[in-house]
Structure 1
Amino acid sequence: MQKTLIVLIVILSSNLIQAQFIKEKSINAQIGYGVSVPFNSVDEIADSGFFAQAELVLKATSWVEFRPYAGFILTNSDGKDLNDNPTDEKAETKAFLLGGKARVRAPIPWVAPYIEIGIGTSIGKFETLTAFDNIDKSGIIFHVPFSFGLELGKNNNVDLGFAYYFHPSVEQATGAFAVGITFPLDN
């Protein structure tokens, strides 16, 4: 199943690149503050870390884009909850992210809101330890990416947003507050 998902994403990405309905191509590079949280927790915890991602932006229309992506997220527990109390609960992630998303955006100069969703795979190590879950898993799992934010600037080439990756098989979600820059590719 997981190998099939990876092959499907690669095939779809390569076919979209050759598709004639793609009007523009560009690269979006994002960096941000990463966070991972468990689905079920007694203590309010959010383990923090680092997030980086690159996307191939395939603009179909002024309001629809397809975005194959590759990224990385690293979060670690500091042994404290959000109220700075000690806790044993944690949701740590060290993973490479790969997948594809579709973005719907309002084609407004200077400030264009957007929302996106897709499917992808995470390759790495995941640890979720709560009163309800004790999961320590390494390998390949699927995730569902969901993002929203604003494209800023005259040409909407600065991206400011929140990116979330839901990992149901390890009972946690990772995410980031990220800033990105889009660089157009020559046709």
Structure 2
Amino acid sequence: MKKHLILLIIILSSNLTEAQFIKEKSINALIGYGISVPYYSSDDFADTGFFVQGELVLKVYSWLEIKPYAGLMLTNSNGKDFNDNPTNEKAETKAFLTGGKVRLRAPIPWIAPYIEIGLGASIGKFETITAFTDINKSGIIYHIPIAFGLELGKNNNFDLGFSYYAQPSVEQDAGGFTIGISFLIKN
């Protein structure tokens, strides 16, 4: 099943780049502050780290984009909760992310709000340890990417947002506060 999901993502992204309904292609590069949190916890905490992602943006309409993506999420526990008290709970992610998303955006110059949803795979190591959960898993898991934010600038080529990846099989969410820039690809 996991191999089929990865193969499907590769086939779809390669076929979509040549589709006639694609009006414009660009590359979007995102970098940000990574965060991972467990679904259930007795302490209020978030493990932090680094997030980077590259996306092939395939514009179908001014308000609709298809986006195959690849990224990296690295978060580590510092052993403290939000009040700086020690905690043994953690929700760490060290994974390569890949998949596809659809972006709906308001086609407004200078400031365009957007929302994204999709399906993808996380490949790496995941650790969720709380009073309710004890998961230590390596390998491939599925995730559901959800993102929202603003495209900024006259041509909407700057991005300020939050990218979020629900990872149900390891009972944690990973995400990042991101900034990005888009580069148009010449045909």
On whether the aligned pair clears a TM of 0.5, the verdict is yes
Unaligned runs of 5+ in 1: none
The CA deviation at 1:11 is 1.0
User: Which residue of structure 1 lines up, in the alignment, with residue 75 of structure 2?
Assistant: 75
Counterpart code for 1:83:
N
- Percent identity over the alignment? 72
- Aligned pairs (5 A) from 1:1-187: 1-187=1-187
Alignment partners' CA distance in 2, 1:82 and 1:56: 36
The aligned amino acid for 1:124 is G
Determine helix, strand or coil for the equivalent of 2:61. Answer: coil
Provide TM-score, normalisation by structure 1. Answer: 0.99
Distance 2:53 2:164 in 1: 12
Which residue identity does 1:107 align to in structure 2? P
Unaligned stretches of 5+ residues in structure 2: none
Task: Give every structure 1 segment of 4 or more consecutive aligned residues whose post-TM-superposition deviation is greater than 4 Å.
Answer: none
Aligned length: 187
Letter of the aligned partner of 2:178 in structure 1? Answer: A
Counterpart secondary structure, 1:60:
strand
> Structure 1 residue 14: deviation in Å?
1.1
Q: TM-score, normalised by structure 2?
A: 0.99
